[in-house]
Structure 1
């Protein structure tokens, strides 16, 4: 298996993140995505805010020397949350689980929360493998699905 590593996000990663974000299958699975994944201007503005916000912890996921996605932690709904995006070509290889596990070793903030669409079984499995437990449910409008979608709220206590 190729090695998964985390490193700081650099400007050159953004082009790859943008390409990954335009994948319609990945957008459907993630559910809670940007209004228009093909809007590069909005994408760049969003990432400029992320890069300039020291309260957001963000890391690029490297797999076999290539940018596979990112993992981040930020404040949302008054709680500290974790989120990740892995390019579809890296799905099913353990990249998300290993990247999230490494990220959780780096940040000691607990509790941490995560959200996943109820039908995103793979993401729920990644979170559970990393110690998250389903603690609640919510629903919200999904831009990628053009409908309200139910989601699980997961919590990592330790």
Structure 2
């Protein structure tokens, strides 16, 4: 990690009892703005937890909790959409800039061998772009998409990991 201290990052399978913590982590306004493609469950705890319970029951969705020194700091995973597999990650804002998202995605990529994998991010989400690039994803396109978290159409960058 960038802070120079030896810290232990680990992934474990997301459990239902993690969902309240995951809700709190994603509740940050700045993070939601950068993520851009959040839905109406992002501010409704009960709806958020109910939706994620369905994810837990779906064998095609892989969700991992990211822990640093035993403390939950976010999540990372993959999910199918229109026949392709996407990556997703969300790290607590106070942990940004420490290489945690990059290391968490790298750890996930060792476990998940499906290729190709895709990552899509808002064009102005520079940190997320770096996470994908540092893990070998290449920019393959962009599209204009409506971002519910911003209530606007924005440019979304599309990244692909082939091998």
* Fold shared, TM-score > 0.5 on shorter chain: yes
Match of 1:12, SS state, is helix
Residue 35 of structure 1: how far off its partner (Å): 2.1
1:118 to 102, 117, 123: 123
1:131 to 110, 131, 136: 136
Distance 1:58 1:72 in 2: 4
4+ residue runs over 2 A deviation: none
Equivalent position of 1:98 in the other structure: 103
**Contact 2:41–2:48 at 8 Å: present in 1 too?**
no
TM-score, with structure 2 as normaliser: 0.93
State whether structure 2 residue 113 is matched by structure 1 residue 108. yes
Relative to 1, partners in 2 of residues 1:128 and 1:42: Cα closer, same or farther, differing over 3 Å?
A: same
Distance 1:112 1:69 in 2: 20
1:67 to 68, 72, 93: 72
Q: CA RMSD in A?
A: 1.0
Unaligned 5+ segments in structure 2 are: none
Distance 1:30 1:61 in 2: 18
Match of 2:42, SS state, is coil
Equivalent position of 1:9 in the other structure: 14
Distance 1:139 1:5 in 2: 35
TM-score, with structure 1 as normaliser: 0.96
Equivalent position of 1:21 in the other structure: 26
Match of 1:116, SS state, is strand
State whether structure 2 residue 31 is matched by structure 1 residue 34. no
Match of 1:71, SS state, is strand
Match of 2:127, SS state, is helix
Distance 2:68 2:35 in 1: 21
Residue 36 of structure 1: how far off its partner (Å): 4.7
Aligned residues: 158
